Amino acid sequence: MKKVSMAVIRRLPKYFRYLSELLENDIRRISSKELSRLTGFTASQIRQDLNNFGGFGQQGYGYNVEGLHVELGKILGLNKSYKTVLIGAGNLGQAIANYKGFEDAGFNLLGIFDKNPKMIGLRIKDIEIGDVDDLEEFVKENDIEIGIICTPKYGSQDIADRLAKCGVKGIWNFAPADLKVPEGVTVENVHLNESLFTLSYLLKQNAEK
Amino acid sequence: MKKVSMAVIRRLPKYFRYLSELLENDIRRISSKELSRLTGFTASQIRQDLNNFGGFGQQGYGYNVEGLHVELGKILGLNKSYKTVLIGAGNLGQAIANYKGFEDAGFNLLGIFDKNPKMIGLRIKDIEIGDVDDLEEFVKENDIEIGIICTPKYGSQDIADRLAKCGVKGIWNFAPADLKVPEGVTVENVHLNESLFTLSYLLKQNAEK
């Protein structure tokens, strides 16, 4: 398969979400024109994006919603489940642990860890918060594939190092830091401050118009 | 000022964060080469990005960290404070309301609203959760500039409509929906599922290598 750009990759989950919504509304077939109106991307963009992964649409018919949903799910790696742990059980960590969309999509949270003695032993969603000192043992014993880092900036690189060392291949990082990881490990960042500052930038630009 | 691409805009908060860290470490001067090593962007990319806003560096000297930090802060609209409200006081809403980076950067949370009678009247950070029916009145009385939507997908468009109608210019949206807003209103999305699905896509690609 040819190399697909990050811009295309980031549109795939969006298509997937719209297809999920169409299915919920029992819509079985959609043209790229209708999909364009729905998503805000041009029909030709959508066709191009999907053509990276094989031809899904049929001339004069459009897309079979269910079929495309299944295929996109496979492309996104959502046809399997993932074993995950979360590190940092503060407000944000708790919210992510409780986040519904997460479990529903096959991301199973098996462990939660913190270094704060006041947090250790408490329960979130029936999971007892463990001591972060026991992270490695847990990750290895449970074949954890994804680590979710919800710690403050300081300490986040150390956690990433430790996760990578015991075989974790994916990191979903909420700490405001750019983590350095060995080849073969993927980091996906949710940098809340950067998102917020982008908003304030755009607000300012709009006000100056 | 010329039109700046979203790719550049999204790098600005990253530069700003790195400059903040340099200041914390009492580093006063940095070359674009060092900045490149730090941020992972090429020196020429950094120079080009910053040149969109005027020339900040000096040949042979590099950048004055504090000066550039102040200027970038202004460019990002962080030299003022913002009045905000949050709608949807579930787990994620509570985490965002308690998020430290938020208040520190001048985003003042004045009101929190929910429609769940069990939530109304409870307190988060000394703010009593109000009935979402009172949203418009509060927004107008307090000249709210930014609304933070932490509701489920259903209902998020309605909240966006109502915020826009009473003059809110910026929406920080955590609901898994693409909100439609009138011209002059800016939406910045944090779509957690899309981020997570991007991670699973990249994990899958890496595994197939």
- Residues A94, A158, single domain; the answer is yes
pTM: 0.94
Residue pair A148/A86 in contact by the 8 Å Cβ criterion = yes
A193·B91 Cβ contact <8 A:
no
pLDDT at B1: 54
- Which pLDDT does position A62 carry in this prediction? 84
B74 to chain A, minimum CA–CA distance in Å? 9
Q: What is the mean pLDDT of residues A105-114?
A: 96
Q: Which of A103-107, A133-137, A184-188 has the lowest mean pLDDT?
A: A103-107
* A100 and A25 both lie in a single domain: no
Nearest to B90 by CA among B178, B160, B156: B156
Q: How far B79 CA sits from the closest chain A CA (Å)?
A: 10
B173 assigned to some structural domain: yes
- B92 & B189 share domain: yes
What is the dihedral angle through the alpha carbons of A46, A49, A54, A57, rounded to the nearest 10 degrees? 0
Q: What is the pLDDT of residues B25-70, one digit of tens each?
A: 999 999 988 999 999 999 999 989 998 888 777 777 789 999 999 9
The answer to whether A91 contacts B95, with C-beta atoms less than 8 Å apart, is yes
Q: Give how many domains chain B has, as a whole number.
A: 2
Q: CB distance A76–B169 less than 8 Å? A: no
DSSP B142-157: TT--EEEE-S-STTHH
Contact B92 A75 (CB under 8 A): no
- Report how far residue A154's alpha carbon sits from residue A196's, in angstroms, rounded to the nearest whole number: 21
Compute mean pLDDT per 10 residues along chain B, 209 residues long, and list them. Answer: 84 95 94 90 91 78 91 94 97 94 92 97 96 98 98 96 97 96 97 96 88
B80 secondary structure, DSSP code: S
Could you tell me if B15 and B52 lie in one domain? yes
Residue A201 lies in a domain: no
Q: Do B13 and A197 touch (CB under 8 A)?
A: yes
Which of A41, A75, A109 corresponds to the end of one domain?
A: A75
CA atoms within 13 A on the CB side of B123: 3
Of A53, A75, A97, the position where a domain reaches its end is A75
The interface residues of chain B toward chain A in range 53-82, judged by CB-CB distance below 8 A, are: 75-78, 82
Residues A61 and A121 in one domain: no
B108, A101 Cβ separation under 8 angstroms: no
Domain extent at residue B132: 82-194
Clarify whether residues B89 and B188 are in a common domain.
yes
Cα–Cα dist A188/A173, whole Å: 6
Q: What percent of chain A has pLDDT over 90?
A: 81
Q: What is the ipTM of this complex?
A: 0.94
Residues B116 and B179 both lie in one domain: yes
Q: How many residues are there in chain B?
A: 209
Give the pLDDT confidence score for residue B2 in this predicted structure.
Answer: 63
Could you tell me if A144 and A160 lie in one domain? yes
pLDDT of residue A60: 75
The answer on B109 and B67 residing in a single domain is: no
Same domain flag for B59 and B159: no
The CATH number for B35's domain is 1.10.10.10
Domain C-terminal end among B46, B75, B104: B75
Q: Least CB-CB distance to B197: which of A78, A95, A145?
A: A78
At residue A63, the 3 state secondary structure works out as strand
